[in-house]
Amino acid sequence: MRKRVLVINDDPAILDVFRELLEEEGYEALLDTMRTGNLDAQYDRVVAERPDVIVLDFVILGEQHGWQFLQLIKMQPKTARVPVVVCTAAVDLVRELGAHLTKMRVDVVLKPFEIDHLYAAIARAIKETDGDPWV
């Protein structure tokens, strides 16, 4: 069974690139623009889709919705074990939140990224949960 990767990014062109990259690597790509900024609706989608890993941008719609969403995911018992890979160009924000990200066991891939770096981060995230974060 193919592993499911939910990519959350507000740029549809970037989502198209992720779809190609992930499907090429054998993953099932689930894509979301998070256009409304409604974190509760986004959380419900995560629970319904049950991805094996989430690839999340930090800055969505010009705000730190990605960071807020990461906190929501990690605070809820149902989704706390779902691995997250942050893929962002917000270098300063990543530096500022570095200790929190480490504590949450979140891997970071900075844009622009090397494709192999992204693949490795996703594979590590899935391996950390023994392949099933929803147990």
For residue 33, what pLDDT is reported?
Answer: 82
Q: Is residue 35 part of a domain?
A: yes
Domain assignment present for 133: no
Q: What is the CATH number of the domain that holds 16?
A: 3.40.50.2300
The answer to whether residue 103 is domain-embedded is yes
Q: What is the pLDDT of residue 36?
A: 67
Q: Which residues of the chain have pLDDT under 50?
A: none
In a domain? residue 79? yes
> Which range marks the domain in which residue 92 is found?
4-128
pLDDT tens-digit readout, 29-44: 999 887 766 888 889 9
Q: ∠25-114-121 over CA atoms, to 5°?
A: 60
How high is the pLDDT of residue 106? Answer: 94
C-alpha 71/C-alpha 68 separation (Å) is: 5
Q: How many other C-beta atoms are found inside a 10 Å radius of the C-beta of residue 84?
A: 25
Residue-level pLDDT at 55: 97
- Count how many domains the chain has: 1
